[in-house]
Structure 1
Amino acid sequence: LLLQPDHRLISQSQLAAEVKSIYTGLVLVENKCISVDKAQAAASQEKDRIQLASQHCQVLIALHSTLLHEHHDFFLSSQHPSATPALQRLALKYSMPARMWKHAIHSFLTLLREYLPESLEFMLYFIPLAYN
């Protein structure tokens, strides 16, 4: 007797609503990441820049990790086996891979690089998180 994973049936309209809901949340987190990264980048360029506090770095990692998870959820739901072809094309239509790289990974790693060597521990934590 072979056990099969429990599959939940979902209608195309339910799936479309789920993708829309995930995308809405993703955009909110993405906009927050963009504004925080811009503010931090500006602060890092100031002559008398302040150190990036450990607690602040942890908050930034949590924010960018949340964005990565939102992208993951979006990709999973939009590529679901019962998704329509139009739903499956949304990731390319909205440039999701490029947006994930730019706002969830690259901008944050660039920020952490500006604060090296103090930020090395956080960079070493975030890199495997982003790429696994």
Structure 2
Amino acid sequence: MTNEETESPLLLDRQLCFALYAAQRAVTAAYRPLLEELGLTYPQYLVLLVLWERGETTVKELAAALRLDYGTVSPLLKRLESAGLVRRARSARDERSVLVAVTGRGEELRERAASVPGALLAATGFDGTEVARLREELWRLAESL
């Protein structure tokens, strides 16, 4: 390769999007065996994280927290409900709104899931400070775009 070719802005390894894509795939792959033990997919895990943190919430609020659209969240909730981990019900105050809450079985799963973040941190080889810095930079990137 000539010097001009190695400096090209079109080289795959120079693309921010590709580095993010590769990292996302690697992180998701690292989560997979941890979540399989819980019977969850990564998106289902994210839904439960929001519900464990916030308690009962509307589908709209849940979708906003996950930065997903309603059409993506609805099938996730349906599968979680079929598994007995969440329940959905129309709001008594606003019939247009659907409330989602974790069931007792979903709360039991929370205890088992408590080891997942630490296991993933160990898999990265990063310390807590490095992870916090990286997370802050990624949030800053997301907000700026």
Structure (1 or 2) with the larger CA radius of gyration:
2
TM-score norm. by structure 1 comes to 0.30
TM-score norm. by structure 2 comes to 0.28
Normalized per residue, which structure has more helix?
Answer: 1
Normalized per residue, which structure has more strand?
Answer: 2
